[in-house]
Structure 1
Amino acid sequence: MNIEEFVAHTANVNCLSMGKKTRRLLITGGDDHKVNVWSIGKPTSLMSLCGHTSPVESLAFDLAEVFVLAGASTGVIKLWDLEETKMVRGLTAHRSNCTAMEFHPFGEFFASGSMDTNLKIWDIRKKGCMHTYKGHTRGISTIRFTPDGRWVVSGGFDNVVKVWDLTAGKLLNEFKFHEGHIRSIDFHPLEFLLATGSADGTVKFWDLETFELIGSSRPEATGVCSITFHPDGKTLFCGLDDGLKVYSWEPVVCHDSLDIGWSTLGDLCINEGKLLGFSYYRNSVGVWGADVSHIEPYGRNDHSEKKFNLDGSYS
């Protein structure tokens, strides 16, 4: 597993997100009030998006990687058009820190979540909030729309996962089995299945037809930061504070485990047989890469007796 590292901001990095279309663009947000756009492998930013007057705490790309959303510690949201390199919307959104953002998979909508406990759905064209969902008892930590765009799922600092029906405008179901706040959510690429990763060190798998818990990993010593299903749907890659686990479910089996020193893992994805991880520490960002064919169950496990170094090399 190799790593490249670069200084991303003049102050602490608070959040980052990778574009899921090309898997080549990365956005970072910092205490310097800026959003910087990067092309992976290039040491200098493509552009710096200015306009916020407080630290940037949450980010999202749209699916086409044309628009970037950024939420700030004051609750203000700003939207930029990368092709025009200009800010197109400024929204006074929440009463406190805007902690999570997500674009709808189609249609000009997005969701935002905040430490004020509210989940809001926005219409970009009408510049306004369409709906506010209330129900979390603490702030919202992560948001994901279902791939079909009918539901939005929110994870909170209250350790609860809530499923909201966008058409009916109401709570559909909620999952309360985690013992730490929800850090990451992902949907299975082929089945009606949801995975949730928590600061409690577990990953849980939920059937979205019956809303039943179908499996849980045993608690790890450190929290789950970011999770992503392999595109083949057979495994879930789980980034912990101190490494990587690869799980299948029904029953839950851990196929592989790697110790990795990736400070705060902000995003994880699999593209063309490569696992990519994006971490941040102070004002720097690390990009981690590994060949999935070297990770069980996809290949020979050749790292079981090897220690992992911070520079990304084995010893």
Structure 2
Amino acid sequence: MTNPEIEELQNHFKTHKKTKEYHAHTSKVHSVGWSCDGRRLASGSFDKSVSIYALDRDRLTKEFTFRGHGASVDQLCWHASNPELLSTASGDKTVRIWDVRSQKSAATINTKGENINITWSPDGNSIAVGNKEDLVTFIDTRTHKIKAEEQFKFEVNEISWNKQSNLFFLTNGQGCIHILSYPDLQLQHVLQAHPGTCICIEFDPTGKYFATGSADALVSLWDVSELVCLRTFSRLEWPVRTISFSHDGKLLASASEDLVIDIGAVETGEKVADVPVEAATFTVAWHPRLYLLAYACDDKEKYDRKSDAGSLKVFGFQPD
């Protein structure tokens, strides 16, 4: 990525820096994500519900709310190629698959523990969910049956497949990335990625890179084929909770308890923009076609005013 390209991106965000706020829930939003066609944004909340918004040009409109989980919705993940299907992990020991077209739950899968992380394989055939006891459960999305369970002896944080869906990655409390073959779940590599807990992992849309965020406040960028660390992003000062690549793989957003979301250039690590926030940010998601970044912050109601509880925000609009 050349300097003119980076300048062009920096200039884009000078004119597209408006953030719009939407009151989606009655309590804290844990997870946000865009459907693969970018037409919808979903948010999952501590209030046990999932809100669905429709994007029309530069306006988000709330369409409906999915209810049914008996506890907090901790993470959500859309199908990689079907824009109608969404999966959610909840503390109620279930995984649900929701159909946006019919506006109801398409399947409920009972699991063994309180679920905190979920990922859908890029080929659409499997969902993996991790629980508080570090058990990862693999679900066949065609039969909605559990096809494997793997108990780990260390703290499992985020989980993800590579783009070919034949390798399964997980980040752990010892700062490592474990890479297993899939579907036979044989350990292939352990990468010592960070000195602190490895919290989040994300693959870029091109399939060339993945990034991890850590308690050491660093984001590291990795080459998928060589499994080497190419560079680190070090502008944040608190544990990195959430990361997201832009649709073209040029930008990487990362967020923490810092009062800013960092947007860096993937190829150089340079700062492109930042988004000021008023509280810790635990979820960010780039739109699959546009430079729009959805995010949600910790509740501020504990400190001052009630209005911020349960809201989600989208950065990257042009001022009216």
CA gap of 1:66–1:117, structure 2 versus 1, over 3 A, is same
Q: Distance in 2 between matches of 1:142 and 1:60?
A: 12
Q: Residue by residue, what CA displacement relative to the aligned partner does 1:116-139 show, whole Å, maximum 9, x if unpaired?
A: 11222110232221122333512x
Q: Distance in 2 between matches of 1:85 and 1:235?
A: 33
Q: TM-score, length-normalised on structure 2?
A: 0.78
Instruction: Letter of the 2:43 partner, please give it.
Output: T
Equivalence for 2:162: 146
**Contact 2:246–2:291 (CA under 8 A) maintained in structure 1:** no
Cα 1:216–1:110 shift into 2, 3 Å: same
Q: Could you list the per-position Cα deviations for residues 48-73 of structure 1 after superposition, in whole angstroms to 9, with x for gaps in the alignment?
A: 21211122212111122212212111
- Alignment partner, residue 58 of structure 1: 75
- Verify: 1:25 aligned to 2:40, yes or no: yes
Conservation of the 8 A alpha-carbon contact between 1:205 and 1:214? yes
Q: Decide which of 93, 110, 114 is 2:131's aligned counterpart.
A: 114
Residue 213 of structure 1 corresponds to 229
CA gap 1:271/1:124 in 2 versus in 1, 3 angstroms: closer
Change (3 A) 1:49 1:141: same
For 1:229 and 1:30, locate their aligned partners in 2 and report how far apart those are by CA, in whole Å.
Answer: 23
Kept in 2: contact 1:239–1:245 (CA 8 A): no
2:97 is equivalent to residue 79 of structure 1: yes
Give 1:252-263 correspondences, 5 Å limit: 253-256=269-272, 258=274, 260-261=276-277, 263=279
1:1-39 C-alpha deviation (Å, 9 max, x unpaired): 1112122112x2242222242323122222322122122
Cα deviation 1:113-164 (Å, max 9, x = unaligned): 11111222110232221122333512x3322221111112122344332212
* Residue type at the aligned position of 2:128: A
Counterpart CA distance in 2 for 1:101 and 1:8 is 21
- Gaps (5+ residues) in structure 1? 295-311
Note the 1:160-199 alignment, pairs <5 A. 160-190=176-206, 192-199=208-215
- 2:45 & 2:290 partners in 1: Cα distance? 31
Q: Could you tell me how far apart the structure 2 residues matched to 1:25 and 1:270 are? A: 9
Change (3 A) 1:155 1:165: same
Is this contact kept in 2: 1:33–1:53, CA < 8 A?
A: yes
Structural mapping, 1:294-309, within 5 Å = none
**Alpha-carbon spacing, 1:220–1:106, altered in 2? closer, same or farther (3 Å):** same
Q: Tell me: CA distance 1:5–1:196, structure 2 relative to 1, closer, same or farther (3 Å).
A: same
Query: Match of 1:65, SS?
Result: coil
> Is this contact kept in 1: 2:29–2:296, CA < 8 A?
no
One of 286, 289, 297 as aligned partner of 2:312? 286
Question: How many residues get paired?
Answer: 288
Q: Percent of aligned positions with the same letter in both sequences?
A: 17
Query: Match of 1:308?
Result: none
Match of 1:70 among 83, 88, 96: 88
Paired residue secondary structure (2:101): coil
What's the secondary structure of 1:274's corresponding residue?
coil
Separation in structure 2 between the aligned mates of residue 56 and residue 279 of structure 1, nearest angstrom: 14
Kept in 1, the 8 Å contact 2:37–2:288? The answer is no
Name the residue aligned to 1:156.
172
Contact 1:136/1:160 (<8 A) preserved: no
**Measured at CA, do residues 27 and 88 of structure 1 come closer, stay the same or move farther in structure 2, by a change above 3 Å?**
same
Q: How does 1:263-278 map to 2 (within 5 A)?
A: 263=279, 264-270=281-287, 272=289, 274-278=291-295
Greater relative CO (CA pairs within 8 A, separation 6+): 2
Q: 1:56 to 1:200 in 2, by over 3 A?
A: same
1:236 aligned partner? 252
1:86: Cα distance to partner? 2.1
Q: Which residue of 2 aligns with 1:305?
A: none
